[in-house]
Structure 1
Amino acid sequence: MQTELIIVSEYCHKCHIEPSFIELLEEGGLINVHTEGGEHYLLLSELPSVERYSRMYYDLSINMEGIDAIHHLLERMEDMRREMSSLRNQLLLYRQREIEEIDW
């Protein structure tokens, strides 16, 4: 499997964002930046997150602390969604067993 890397400086130039913004995201632990031969790279899989964060920062004027808080809240919501799905499946299984016992 080949990992696709995007040069940070080129990405920033094309998307009209500051390279320092990418550094802030990395320092905040929101994204991972890889360095090879003195050049900084983003993984292709990081782009949706970078785009989401840049819209928050540039379009909505949300500061880094706000972006971090939103990130953690969204993570918690996703964890809760997964937990609810798991519990729903367990409940359905329990109900199915209950119905099978009644049929005997």
Structure 2
Amino acid sequence: MQNELIIVSEYCDKCHIEPSFIEMLQEIGLIDIRTEGGERCLQFAQLPDVERYSRMYYDLSINIEGIDAIHHLLERMESMQQEIYSLHSRLRLFEDVSR
């Protein structure tokens, strides 16, 4: 479910990552952390992003600023791909009309 929450400290223990890493991701706006019942929590839907960022940080030694830049570039690339798809669809409409 999209509304399920994961306690940050438990997630960090199980995945062997530092809680300060999660805080850095929050500080630069890549993830949102909620406080529920006195516990800091991540939304379940954010886990794929957190896992991707942690692989970049721990496995590839990319710093937080680099992760932020990569995130921004990937968002731009996805937006451009959607625009290309939209333009291709519009082009097909014009091609069909001219036939």
Q: Which category describes the TM-score, using the shorter chain as reference length?
A: over 0.9
Q: What does 1:12-27 correspond to in 2, within 5 Å?
A: 12-27=12-27
CA distance in 1, matches of 2:62, 2:34: 26
Q: CA deviation at 1:38?
A: 2.0
Question: Larger RCO: Structure 1 or Structure 2 (Cα < 8 Å, ≥ 6 residues apart)?
Answer: 2
Q: Which has the larger radius of gyration?
A: 1
Paired residues, number: 99
Deviations 1:31-90 (A, max 9, x none): 111112321001010000000000000000000010000000000000000000000000
Q: Structure 1 pair 49/2, CA: closer, same or farther in 2 (3 Å)? A: closer
Root-mean-square deviation (CA, aligned residues, Å) is 1.1
Alpha-carbon contact 2:2-2:44 (below 8 Å) kept = no
CA distance in 2, matches of 1:59, 1:2: 28
TM-score, normalisation: structure 1: 0.92
2:56 match: secondary structure: helix
CA distance in 1, matches of 2:35, 2:81: 35
1:30 match: secondary structure: coil
For structure 1, the residue ranges without an aligned partner over 5 or more in a row are: 100-104
